[in-house]
């Protein structure tokens, strides 16, 4: 049976810009940044495997995937459009103090779609990454 999740995929519009956003603005650390060679399964000309993760959670990696990775050009174009529109919600990121994290991340230039608000499950704010993906920043009750 499945016993844990190790990787999640977030499609981004520019991997260099995403790396900078996730590390400098969100404070994550780079886990992998390698180029897979030609002919790698389904990659054609190869692709960049870029992952980041929260410093305190070494067993989780967020794959910052180019929209073309594993897709034909038509599908990659559709993905780019959906990401840029903000149509894809990617994940919930936990914090001990949502309001404090909101202030800190806002000061670093992170764009919030919703300020912290009380919810039945705790306090939540919604932000976007530099590509358009949205995330819930949540503080559990």
pTM score, whole prediction:
0.90
- Given a cut of 80, whether residue 43 has pLDDT beyond it is no
CA distance linking residue 98 with residue 100, whole number of Å:
6
Query: Would you say residue 31 has pLDDT above 80?
Result: yes
Domains of the chain from N-terminus onward: 7-140 (3.10.180.10)
Long-range contacts of 97-100 (CB under 8 A, 24+ apart): 97/139, 98/122, 98/123, 98/124, 98/125, 98/137, 98/138, 98/139, 99/123
Question: Could you report the per-residue pLDDT of 10-27, keeping only the tens digit for each?
Answer: 999 999 999 999 999 999
Look at residue 45 in the predicted model and tell me its pLDDT: 59
Query: Tens digit of pLDDT for each residue in 59-113?
Result: 999 999 999 988 899 999 999 999 999 998 879 999 999 999 999 999 999 999 9
On the question of pLDDT at 41 being above 60, the answer is no
* Partners of 119 in the β-ladder: 122
Q: What is the model's pLDDT at position 36?
A: 81
Residue 40 reports pLDDT greater than 70: no
**Is residue 37 over pLDDT 80?**
no
């Amino acid at each position: 049976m499945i016993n844990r999740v190790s990787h999640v995929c977030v499609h981004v519009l520019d991997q260099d810009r995403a790396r900078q956003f996730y590390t400098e603005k969100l404070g994550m650390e780079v886990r992998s940044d390698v180029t897979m060679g030609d002919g790698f399964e389904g990659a054609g000309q190869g692709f960049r495997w870029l992952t980041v993760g929260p410093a305190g959670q070494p067993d989780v990696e967020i794959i910052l995937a180019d929209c073309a990775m594993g897709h034909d050009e038509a599908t990659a174009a559709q993905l780019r459009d959906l990401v840029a529109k903000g149509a894809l919600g990617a994940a919930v990121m936990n914090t001990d103090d949502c309001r404090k994290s909101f202030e800190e991340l806002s000061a670093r230039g992170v764009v919030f779609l919703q300020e912290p608000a009380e919810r039945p499950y705790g306090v939540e704010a919604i932000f976007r990454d530099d590509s358009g993906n949205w995330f819930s920043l949540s503080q559990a009750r």
